[in-house]
Chain A
Amino acid sequence: MKGMLSLNVLTGILNSMIALATPFLYAAIGETFAQSAGVVNLGVDGIMLLAGFAAFFVALTTGNLWLGLLAAIGVGILMGLVMSLVSVTLKAEQGVSGIGLYMFGLGMSSLLFKVLIGTVKTIEGFKPVSIPFLSQIPYLGPILFHNSVLVYGAFLLVPLSWVILEKTSLGLKIKAVGQNPAAADSLGISVVGIRYFAVCLGSALAGVAGASLSISLLNLFQDNLTSGQGFIAVALVYFGGWSPLGVLAGSLLFSAVNSIQLWMQVLGVNLPASVAVMLPYILTILALMLSSNRARQPAALNKPFDRSEN
């Protein structure tokens, strides 16, 4: 265990942590918007997969990574529209519609991968970009300030989304719709419109999460690439108490423990691998148990709104 405290290990943990946290940040913050407006979207993993494939395919065939990113956002918005149609307009049971969306995204991405590409290929994804001056800071500089644009984007999204939710009238509307849609409706806020927007924004961000995997961090597409990370992202929204800062804490905690357990395995710490792999999940529960932050969930979460009932 002593080897764990060396500088090399600590910087390695930090590096892995940032890479692992990036997709969680995009997807979980996106889901935070949707849930703040009162809609649970369990289909995040499916969106990440289909959008991640779209990004990869477009980047592979056109050679343009930004077009790929755009494709991912487009697919995300499309799937968000489907989710909104089913869950907001048709007032479906959101847990179930989310599962349907997940299955659709999973199946569609595998199908298109098989039919359009057929075998695993790699591409040159977004390359790390150094931020001048900052990346020269000893030790921390190269880790924090030498990353791809999508990684920077994920972390910048935290303060940006916090500002939107807490300090803008849009954020206020979103939260109002999630807390008391009847009151919001009587104030002239379009509950349906805001919910559609929040869900589509959330899905677009889930799309970027998928793209961050396929055209930035991993630079490939493989069947079931996300392997359930979308569900972890949804869980992190609850951990974070519907606040982007809380989501950041949760993403970092989960990813940090994952990085640490990998280092423990590499350094030969005497712990069965399965137990090591369990650690991020156990610690996330423990952390929530011990934290005193008990944000109340949006009161209208998972409850479709029907004006005729009020």
Chain B
Amino acid sequence: MKSKRIAIALAMIVALTMGAFAAPLRIAVIMPSATTDMAFSQSMWSALVTIQKEMGGESALQLKYTDNMWNVPDAAAAIRDYASQGFDIVIAHGSQYGSSVQDIAPDFPKTTFAWGTDVNTFGLPNVYAYTAAAEQGGFVNGVLAARLTKSKKIGVTGPIEVGDAKTYIDGFVQGVQSVNKAIAVSKTWTGSFSDVALMTAAAKTHIANGADILTGSSQSVVGSIGAAKDKGGVLWFGTQADQASLASALVVASQVYDWTGMLREIVAQHKAGVLGGKTYVLTLANGGLKMAFNPAYKLAPAAKKAADDAIAGISKGSIAVQP
């Protein structure tokens, strides 16, 4: 009937206008390093910016950030402050923020807290925890590296043997060994996440020792890529972010942390009234971890197939990678 149609039309108009005037969703993120680090913090920040664009910009999603929060009490103050300002979702992007989230979340039952990289939600209904199974991409990189190395020597330049730097590298070594146990993988740790000069020297040392493939983790790894570029002919495998822009012909593949899927789900859940209580693990299977193959590097089809098989195997569960 006409009146029914008018009623529906009116309802739709009301719904649309309400939608248009709906207050933007507000997300705050606290990070331990700079958003430009081409590693951990940058991966989350760029994911948030992507989500913001998807949702329609500032009017739909308001983003605020606090970076370089390596001091835990300062981060706790920031988390509490953003929560008390009424932010809908507060992301504490750093493993050191766990106790702070545990303390603060109960005081703000209407706020969603997400923190990582860890798997503990403390049993709180408004806390999400997230982590990345970095060892998976490490395994895939390792498989490729084992197939591409001619000198049968691979170098790993790491910062400190903790966190996802450790799990990535452990996965990498497993990947190499699954192809050829005779390949020598040697590891160096510089004891710092930021010392680029020492990381460069470490990379050069591996190269001088005969390594023709390098990998590693942390923001200082840009130095290793530089060393590979300097020498020429040394290939690089990256993690946490797509590092192809730094040495286009030499970067074979990077494991990219793609937080967007998780973020979309958290946002949708929040709008539906679910504030937490779940742990997210970025894996190859759920698309949180993506292997970015550098188009500028001509990867032999056989090698590509091996990598794809590894991805499939890990996703299916037929290949088990130990963190």
Contacts and interface: CB of A to CB of B under 8 A. Distances in A.
B155 to A, nearest CB: 7
Interface residues of A, number: 42
Interface string A209-250: 000010001111011111111000000000000000000000
B201 A262 contact: yes
Interface string A143-175: 000000000000000000000000000000000
Interface in B187-227: 187-192, 194-198, 200-202, 204-206, 208-209, 219-220, 222-223, 225-226
A218 B196 CA distance: 8
Nearest to A277: B191
Interface stretch (B35-43, B106-114, B268-276): B35-43
Interface stretch (A66-74, A113-121, A286-294, A298-306): A113-121
B260 interface: no
Contacts, number: 125
B205 A277 contact: no
B247 interface: yes
Contact of A223 (B34, B204, B225): B34
B194 A227 contact: yes
B223 A218 contact: yes
The SS class assigned to the A binding surface is helix
Contacts of B209: 8-9, 12, 263, 266-267
* Of B34, B35, B42, most A-chain CB atoms within 10 Å: B34
B309 interface: no
Nearest to B189: A273
A32 interface: no
Interface of B: 33-38, 42, 68, 155, 161, 186-192, 194-198, 200-202, 204-206, 208-209, 219-220, 222-223, 225-226, 229, 245-247
28 contacts: A11-B208, A12-B204, A12-B205, A12-B209, A19-B201, A19-B204, A20-B201, A23-B197, A119-B36, A120-B222, A120-B246, A121-B246, A122-B225, A122-B246, A122-B247, A217-B197, A218-B196, A218-B226, A222-B37, A226-B197, A228-B195, A258-B198, A258-B201, A259-B205, A265-B189, A266-B202, A273-B187, A273-B191
Given A119-B245, A228-B195, 14 more contacts: A15-B204, A19-B200, A19-B201, A119-B36, A120-B36, A122-B226, A213-B197, A218-B197, A223-B33, A225-B196, A225-B197, A265-B189, A266-B188, A273-B191
